[in-house]
Chains A and B, each alone.
Chain A
Amino acid sequence: MIKKLNKLVKDFTLSELRTGLKITAKELVNKKITVQFPEERTPISPRFRGLHALRRYPNGEERCIACKLCEAVCPANAITIESEMRDDGTRRTIQYDIDLFKCIFCGFCEEACPVDAIVETQIFDYAFESRQGSIMTKERLLEVGSKNEQAISQVRLEDAKYK
C-alpha cells in the first residue's frame, strides 16, 4: 500500500523525468572536450603504424638493399619487390610496390627490415584520387620518407629506449 502510494506520488510529481532533466542540465554547462580535428590533433603514440615510407641515409643513399625480408614476412602479400645489380656492384630495388588496399598495417615489414629502410610513419590522413593511387611505388615511398625524415627519426629516437 505504502509502496503503491509512493509510486503514485513519484509518478505524478514527474520525479524520474526531473532526474533526467537534471543530468542534461548539468552536462549543458560542463566543459566540452571535443577535439577540433584539422586544427587540433590528439596525441599519437610513437608506435603508431600509419602510411609507409622508405628512408635514405644522411648522405642521400637509399637504405633498402633489396633483401626481400619484408616481402617474405608480409602476411597480406602487399609488397612486391624486383631487384637488380647497380653499376657500382651493389644490389638495389628497381621496383618496390606496397598495395595499401592489401596492407593490414601490422608493422612486420618494419620489424623485419635489417637496415630500417621501410618504416611506418604517423601519417593517417591521406587519400587516393585514382584506383592506381592505392599502390605506393618506390618513388612515392621515398618521397614520403624524405619529406618526413625528421619526424620519422625523432619518433624512433623517442621509442628507442623501450625496444
Chain B
Amino acid sequence: MELWQAFVQMVHTLIPWLDGTVASIFIILIKAIALVMPLMLVVAYFTYAERKVIGYMQLRIGPNRVGPKGWLQPIADALKLMTKEIIFPTKANIYLFLLAPVLAIAPAIAVWAVIPFDEGIYVTNLDISLLYVLAIGSIGVYGIILAGWASNSKYPLLGALRSASLLVSYEIVIGFALVTVVMIAGSVNLNTIVQAQQGGIVHWYFIPLFPMMVIFFISALVETNRAPFDVVEGESEIVGGTHVEYSGMTFAVFVLAEYANMILMAVLAVVMFFGGWHSPFEAIPYLESAFAWVPGIVWLLAKTTFFMFLYLWVRATFPRFRYDQIMRLSWKVFLPITIIWIFVVALMTQLELGPWF
C-alpha cells in the first residue's frame, strides 16, 4: 500500500498540471492496464497449460515444437489468429456480428475490477462487489446469444439457445450457493468476506460449506461453458456452436473471454471459500512465522492456480453431459440442495451455532 501511495505521489509530482478528476482517471487507467495486461498473458499461457495438462493426462506430450518445450506456442497461436481473415457470413448482420465478441469479453474483464488480490490491492472497493460480479457476469451470456443470432446460421443458433437456458438455470444455483457465504460473512463486499475468513485454514468457508463449494465449482463449469458441460460448442453435435461462423480475431476474442471467465471463477472460488489472500499456515505456531514473508497475493494466485488446474483435470476426465441431464442436475438436484442449505445456514447464523464464529 505504501508503494502505491508513493507511486500516486510520483505521478502528481512528475505531471503537476494533472489534478483532480484528470489525475484520478489517469490512475484508474493505469490500474486497469496493470490488471488487464497480466490477465491476458495468463489467459494465453492458460491455453498452453490446458493443452499440456490434457495431453499428459491422455498419455501424450502436448505442444513441444514452437520454442523450448513449446513455450512460444500461445504466441504463435495469437499471431496466426491475428493474421487470419475475418469472414462475415453473407446474410449476417455485421454490426451485431462484431458486437457479440465485444459483449462477451467486456464483462469477463470488467468483473475483475472488484476482485481483491491482497489486503488493499484492488481496482475498486465496491460495497456491493458480489452483486456486481453476479450482475456483470450474467451480461456475458448476451455475447453468446448475440453471436448465435447474428451469425444467421443454424448451428450457432442452436448453441446460443442451449447456452441461454443453461446459464439462466445455473445463475440461480451460483447465486444461492454464494448467498450462504454472504450470510455467514454478513457482507456482500468481497474484501470483507475475505477478511472474515482470517485466522487459519479452519476459518475458511469451504469447511462448513463444502457442499456449496462443490456445487459452486460445478456450476462455474457450466457458466463458463467448459467440459463436461460444453454443450454450447458441442463439436460432435452442433459442429462448434456459436463459434462456427467466427474466424481470426473475432474468434480469438471469444476464446479470451472464455478463459478470462474461467480464471475469474477460479479466483471467485478462492475468495469466497478458500480465504482469498490469507496464508494457509495462519495460526499454526512455527509455520506462520516461517511463511510470514510471503505476500498475500502469492497465496491467492497459488490457490487460484489449483482451481484452474481443476478445470483442466475435469475436462480431461469426463465426457460431455447430455443436455437434458444438465438441466435436471440444475433444477432437480442443485437447486433443492442449495435451498435447504440456505435454510440450515440461516438457522445456524440466527442461533449463533455455526463453527464459523
Contact = CB atoms under 8 A, between A and B. Distances in A.
A34 B57 contact: no
A24 B61 contact: no
B7 interface: no
Given A17-B318, A20-B318, A32-B61, A25 B313 contact: yes
A27 B56 contact: yes
B66 interface: no
Given A32-B60, A32-B61, A20 B317 contact: yes
B314 interface: yes
B59 interface: yes
Interface string B214-228: 100000000000000
A28 interface: yes
A24 B59 contact: no
Contacts of B53: 28
B58 interface: yes
Interface in A25-80: 25, 27-30, 32-34, 36
B316 interface: yes
B56 A34 contact: no
A27 B58 contact: yes
A28 B53 CA distance: 7
B60 A24 contact: no
A21 interface: yes
Contacts, number: 34
Contact of A27 (B59, B61, B64): B59
Given A24-B57, A30-B59, A14 B214 contact: yes
B56 A28 contact: yes
B60 A34 contact: yes
A17 B214 CA distance: 12
Contacts of A23: 317
A20 B314 CA distance: 9
Given A14-B214, A21-B313, A24-B313, A32 B318 contact: no
A12 to B, nearest CB: 8
Interface in B312-346: 313-314, 316-318
Nearest to A22: B317
Interface string B33-62: 000000000000000000001001111110
Nearest to B58: A27
Point out which of B59, B313, B317 has the most chain A C-beta atoms below 10 A from its C-beta: B317
Interface in B110-126: none
B302 to A, nearest CB: 19
Given A21-B313, A21-B314, A30-B59, 5 more contacts: A20-B318, A25-B313, A27-B58, A32-B59, A32-B60
26 contacts: A14-B214, A17-B317, A20-B317, A20-B318, A21-B314, A21-B317, A23-B317, A24-B57, A24-B313, A24-B317, A25-B57, A27-B56, A27-B57, A27-B58, A28-B53, A28-B56, A28-B57, A29-B56, A32-B59, A32-B60, A32-B61, A33-B59, A34-B60, A34-B61, A36-B61, A36-B64
